[in-house]
Amino acid sequence: MEMSVADLVAYLENDLADFFARIKALPRLKEAQDTLRHMEDQCRQHARRGADISRGYAVPGGLRFGGIVESQARLKQAISDAVIREPDLAVVFRRLADMEATVALLYRRIAEHIRSLGEVHAPIAEEFDRLAADEWQHQTTILRAGEQHRDGSAWTDRA
């Protein structure tokens, strides 16, 4: 799959926003809807930033990102399975937080790759560093939300 890095951000973030929209509708996550809605909104904002990157910088084109898209699909499937099957919602939230950490690492690696293409691309690499920092903050937000709801009622399914 060939696309610009800006298009990649828009694709990945819209895909994650759709994922958060789907899981926030699950009854078992009712008490976490505010956090999940916040994450959905953050993903949509990042998708718009991807469009801004393509307008504001000389974006390296012709890079192949098929493996990244496929990896995200596998990651989302694993998280979806956890959301559906894992009885302990603390585990679900840890996995959601891990997903954000994975995205942060991805953006950091993209930034490093873009820097390797030459100094002319340093500003766009800095944008990806900022996206990565945001994703680390998202991880923290999810972990804190998980702790907030840890009164027991929201964290285990009851028959």
Q: 22-71, pLDDT tens digit by residue?
A: 999 988 888 788 889 999 999 999 999 887 776 766 666 656 677 888 88
Q: Residue ranges per domain, the chain? A: 2-148
pLDDT by residue (tens digit) across 3-24?
677 788 888 899 999 999 999 9
User: What's the CA gap between 131 and 152, in Å, rounded?
Assistant: 33
pLDDT top residue among 135 and 118: 135
User: What's the CA gap between 158 and 18, in Å, rounded?
Assistant: 28
Enter the pTM of the model: 0.81
Q: Does domain 2-148 have CATH number 1.20.1260?
A: yes
pLDDT of residue 20: 93
